[in-house]
Structure 1
Amino acid sequence: MGKFAPSPLDQRAQAVADRLTRASKRQQLPGALPMLGQAVRSKLRDGTWDPTMSEPGKRFLADKYVALDPEKAALCYLLCRSLDARRVVEVGTSYGVSTIYLASAIRDNLAAAPGESGTVIGTEHEPAKVAAAREHLVEAGVADYADILAGDLRETLPAVDGPIDFVLVDIWIPMAEPALRILEPKLRRGALVVCDNIVSGASSYRAYTDYVRDPDGPFQSVTVPGRGGIEVSMKR
């Protein structure tokens, strides 16, 4: 037995996800020093260590994978399977790595429900990433279970219909809380929302965590530490 549980993906999807994850990791080391420089400049200029808050920082990340860790993506797959999810929203698709896991979960749920339909609705602002994500979904064999909305999520998400079973939030931090507020009325009771890097980005995610942790708000939430941490929130 290995150190980690095996992937829930089939061989075709796994091959694509593995290749993209390796590409994401190859970007991380060469990009570490430039990103540190961006962070220092951001702190001096804007008072925050988060370089993505500035236009230069956003441009720097425009072609980066910043893919969800495979273990976190596998957890999202299992949560979608447990919920028997039919409608999933991914806030921040990038190159489609985590989308492959989510779309695979939808496909596998539908395998036991002939005649029913389901989909992952992704959001992505960068046109080149939208095109690449769509190609990767085709290559992974799950394109029939995903639809990527191109453009500003503040314009695209309001048109998404409910009921929504599951949401993955892995986006430019200032967009996380506004996106969830758009989606919240469309979440069914018991729907789950997973947000990545909630511990490593705690100060930047303050508006988001204040929202999902509000005892009088629409969510009940738990923080899972490790690898940047994730927040798992359930719609009351």
Structure 2
Amino acid sequence: MNTLISTPVAPLLQRLFEEAGTACSPALTAVSAEERQRLLASRSDYTRLYGELLKDLWLPVSAATGRLLYLLARSSGARSIVEFGTSFGISSIYLAAALRDNGGGRLITTEFEPEKARRAAGHLREAGLADLVELRVGDALQSLAADLPESIDLVLLDGAKVLYPEVLDLLQARLRPGALVLADNADDSPAYLQRMHADGSGYLSLPFADDVELSMRLD
């Protein structure tokens, strides 16, 4: 049995992607493109961007990226996964489905906006995967600062792009050799890309698919 393509997960994902495609944010449309770019790059204003302007948008991974996450987690035998940026839980479903098919494990995922976290928890229950997931609510710089697994197999970065380097700092010491890090919308985090591509970074990294950076921990 493959959890990803079976009921209830497959029809649930189809429905959630449809809902994501119709969501809108009047607050965001009232902000100029220049201001959006400033907020996206701001280390001090990301709470406004994600807590106010983007709180009604799903911001999911694409279906192709979701399948990539599932494939990476399955092929690496991942049992311990950390996700930065739950949103409404679509990517969490892909990751937890892989854990189920790997025989079990734990996904720690964190979401800044409480209502998104509440909805995501409901979707995970509907998928029959909630028992594999610990959903932490709040700023990831606090929620991922403690109580982490001794060894992490896979990381998804898909929250505030400006925080990618700092979130990686919280997790890096626990990444096992060969651990995979997938950063969605990585082009919006130039500091993260510069770090991953630098000589002596400790990672082998390459762009993969559309705006995804895939990296492997070397040591």
Flag whether TM exceeds 0.5 (same fold): yes
Identify which range, 48-57 or 78-87, moves more after superposition. Answer: 48-57
Amino acid at match of 1:18: Q
1:206 aligns with 2:199: no
Shift of 1:146: 0.9
Deviations 1:25-45 (A, max 9, x none): 112xx55x96465243517xx
Shift of 1:66: 0.8
User: RMSD over aligned Cα, in angstroms?
Assistant: 2.2
Shift of 1:225: 4.2
Deviations 1:112-151 (A, max 9, x none): xxxxx51111011111111111110000111111111111
Please show how residues 52-71 of structure 1 align to structure 2 within 5 Å: 53=42, 54=45, 57-58=49-50, 59-71=52-64
CA contact (8 A) 1:35 1:51 kept: no
Shift of 1:196: 0.8
CA contact (8 A) 1:93 1:124 kept: yes
SS at match of 1:11: coil
1:42 aligns with 2:45: no
CA contact (8 A) 2:70 2:94 kept: yes
Query: For 2:67 and 2:141, how far apart are their aligned partners in 1?
Result: 28
CA contact (8 A) 1:137 1:143 kept: yes
Q: Choose from 190, 204, 208 the match for 1:220.
A: 204
Please show how residues 164-175 of structure 1 align to structure 2 within 5 Å: 164-175=152-163
Shift of 1:9: 3.1
Deviations 1:72-104 (A, max 9, x none): 001100000000000001110011011001000
CA, structure 1 residues 24+179, in 2 after alignment: closer, same or farther (shift >3 Å)? same
Query: For 2:32 and 2:107, how far apart are their aligned partners in 1?
Result: 33
1:109 aligns with 2:97: no
Partner of 2:167: 179
1:17 aligns with 2:5: no
Shift of 1:24: 0.9
Partner of 1:154: 141
The total of aligned residue pairs comes to 212
Partner of 2:106: 119
Partner of 1:80: 73
Query: For 1:52 and 1:21, how far apart are their aligned partners in 2?
Result: 27
In our comparison, the structure showing a higher alpha carbon Rg is 1
CA contact (8 A) 2:28 2:54 kept: no
CA contact (8 A) 2:79 2:106 kept: yes
1:233 aligns with 2:219: no
Shift of 1:175: 1.6
What fraction of aligned residue pairs are identical, expressed as a percent?
Answer: 32
Long gaps (5+) in structure 1: 1-6, 111-116
Query: For 2:80 and 2:38, how far apart are their aligned partners in 1?
Result: 35
Query: For 1:164 and 1:21, how far apart are their aligned partners in 2?
Result: 28
Amino acid at match of 1:92: G
Shift of 1:177: 1.4
Shift of 1:221: 0.2
CA contact (8 A) 2:80 2:149 kept: no
1:130 aligns with 2:123: no
TM-score normalized by the length of structure 2? 0.88
TM-score normalized by the length of structure 1? 0.82
SS at match of 1:171: coil
